[in-house]
Structure 1
């Protein structure tokens, strides 16, 4: 076993062994009036219940509390890999309405060895699920989240700890967003909604600035759902958050074209993600709800309700390899219905990423054999950005194709993670990257 593999194995083992470690007590003056909630047998701390009135400014902090990490070791200069603060901050959803978003700010123990002030990376998590118990900030606290019994069992593992701790080891501060509605108990998570996700990423950077009182150079990191979120944020920065100084973005396996992704995921191990997307679409665009009433069978309604509280592991166990044609009353797939109905198609088309030049240099990494979040649509996003004058580093990853779409998707995440962290670190240290737009037409 390689040294890197041994380290990753030890990290995962320690994470699982740390189940039950709790965060420091919340500031009673901040959350005493907020009730706790429960999702699939897991108690959601009162911290995650938003107040009735939100600040006016995007990125304004609503509340904070110290967060004890499940995986933390004593060090000479403080706990390793650093100190964490759970945050709730104000953002704006895709309908222009105020929304509370949670996340975690992590200050590293390691020194920053690059020039200038310590930089900040906003980490957008990959798919965690739609239940509030699935949020990455809660996973950082508990490591492994379990709810058992009553036919509503759940399991969630904080796998983003590997990328987060890799960045902290470089001396880079990290702020992680939970996204709109994931963790916060007032609404459903709007899964893969590009505007909600892009705003949540950009406002997380603002929240970190408000927490620390500093204005560092900013990078974005995300894979899969996170890759789409940071790609969207890089596009939206110039109009939504020009005050956020984005230097570089790592966008791995971005779901840039939801029509292509929906068709690819149907019938795979991650088929349940289509239910999360549809649930989020209807919350973002309530006028789509009559379509559900028209097309969904009783089995489909049950599946979408069930999925609304599930984490990714739950969905794989319960809905792997299901076809959404079994959720409709006419045998059509969800994807084909979304494309056939004008209102639904217009909404899906509005979610396309690649229509605006991104801010800063972007490394687009995509497995050429990824048939879950299809390689072709990620490559098209990179090419579209190049055509709009974007500074793009296109990185096709060639791994052997397996019979499992899930493995074809997550293989590049693991094989490219170290390279991605190093690439982002170099950009934040001021080392330039050479655009590959001129050679992209010759690349797979």
Structure 2
């Protein structure tokens, strides 16, 4: 019974977090069930110190939902003087060639872990990490060696789950990242360099697009600044699927406003299995077996948007401050087994239908932007978790804005579509990195 309660708490806690911005006087009242839960279950022991905010960044509850330290300062330590640094400016670097060579099945000239200044979702100075892999294989194509920016689907809450930590520490048990390393090896064997950003940021804010895009753009800035002779004239292209596609998508959408000097440096973005409409996906996940994934996303979002914390009831707070805050992506799926609806963990009735949900979704909506690069968009024909209409609408909007784009409907649901659509995305990225003009199929849908 105790384990079942813990599992139920874990699932429902995250569901509410994705729907709650700052408190408003017109917020719906809690239901009788919600009131009963808070009257029955006490809040977890995270007492505030005198003078601390109650429910914002810096509060005891906010600190309690952050990921645990890894023990490696490159991923844990917040450097002094971040505000005085430029986004993308190098903070430190580390040679990780030996560890990378043991994990990646391709000849490496070197591998470097980069730590650089970046920017949080709210615009505050932050930092990011990324791993640059340079192959021993020569580049025989035109121009300087190109760089494939592979935004792997980290889909995790713990800092130890990132590509950077996995490679630097030669972690063989992180199946979420290791399963994608053969694809990275294939990239290297073509003579491309590979840049793997830890795009969830230092607070592991899974699926937060502003963090993901800014971190990825700053990783490109860092590579160009640190290795100007080698990569100062290189073409860069971003590619990602599912959780990784959020980062690749945000990279091209945010480039004009955040990193305009990279216009023409980033030459394309291939994105598959993309979430563009958070509200639609939340409704699909709510109360179903994918609610464990919704947990991960929601818990992560509260780290960058701490005003959400005041809408967690006591049950949700227990789960959010438990060891669940450090899980890797392969653990969140089974958490959805009980499929409890979000109302069980909320402090407002019908949270998904409220103005509160609309406001938090708008914070992360990038659909009004124009992509800075050509696009290759693919999606599973039978993806029952992420509706295909969102990517279709994105394609139509970007076509209307004059962005060269292709759209491919591929066989399968979310996982099999990744396998079925990968070859087309790889071919498209390869052509962009050779400098070939991007094909434009607007307004044809396939």
- Normalising by the smaller structure, the TM-score range is 0.7 to 0.9
CA distance in 1, matches of 2:192, 2:170: 22
Aligned to 1:86: 113
State the partner residue of 2:417.
412
The answer to whether structure 1 residue 118 and structure 2 residue 135 are counterparts is no
Instruction: Provide the residue aligned with 1:381 in structure 2.
Output: 394
**CA deviation map 1:255-276 (0-9, x unaligned):** 1111112222334554222223
1:61 to 90, 93, 116: 90
TM-fit CA distance, 1:325: 3.4
Correspondence 1:260 to 2:280: yes
Give the Cα–Cα distance (whole angstroms) in 2 for the partners of residues 47 and 329 of structure 1: 36
Show CA shifts across 1:73-117 (max 9, x none). 799xx9714421111111111211111111201111222222111
Q: How does 1:147-162 map to 2 (within 5 A)?
A: 157-162=177-182
Distance, in Å, in 1 between the alignment partners of 2:147 and 2:189 is 13
Deviation of residue 285 (structure 1)? 2.7
- Give me the whole-angstrom Cα distance separating, in 1, the residues matched to 2:424 and 2:213: 24
Q: Kindly tell me: are residues 41 and 246 of structure 1, through their superposed partners in 2, closer, same or farther at Cα, counting changes over 3 Å?
A: closer
| Preserved CA contact (<8 Å) 1:198 1:236 | yes
- 2: distance between equivalents of 1:265 and 1:98? 33
Contact 1:124 1:176 in 2 (8 A): yes
1:378 and 1:351 mapped to 2: Cα distance?
Answer: 16
RCO (CA 8 Å, sep 6+): is it higher in 1 or 2? 2
Contact 2:89 2:221 (C-alpha < 8 Å) held by counterparts: yes
**1:315 aligned onto 2:332:** yes
Shift of 1:331: 10
1:86/1:137 contact within 8 Å kept: yes
Contact 1:367 1:397 in 2 (8 A): yes
RMSD: 2.8
- 1:212 matched to 2:227? The reply is yes
Match of 1:179, SS state, is coil
Gapped regions of structure 2 (runs ≥ 5): 1-65
Which residues of 2 match residues 316-335 of structure 1 at below 5 A? Answer: 316-320=333-337, 322-325=339-342, 327-328=344-345
Q: Is the 8 A contact 1:355 1:385 kept in 2?
A: no
How many matched pairs?
373
Residue 301 of structure 1 pairs with residue 317 of structure 2:
yes
> Residue 365 of structure 1 aligns with which residue?
378
Correspondence list, 1:73-112, <5 A: 80-112=107-139
Q: CA deviation at 1:288?
A: 2.6
Q: What do the CA deviations read for 1:4-62 (whole angstroms, capped 9, x no partner)?
A: xxxxxxxxxxxxxxxxxxxxxxxxxxxxxxxxxxx999944232223233251111111
Counterpart selection for 1:194 from 198, 206, 209: 209
Offset, 1:226: 1.3
Equivalence for 2:72: 45
Question: How far apart are 1:194 and its partner, in Å?
Answer: 1.3
- Distance in 1, matches of 2:276 and 2:101, equals 35
Cα distance in structure 2, aligned partners of 1:74 and 1:391: 37
Deviates more, 1:61-70 or 1:156-165: 156-165
Q: Which runs of 5+ in 1 are unaligned?
A: 1-38, 147-153, 400-407
TM-score if structure 2 supplies the norm length? Answer: 0.76
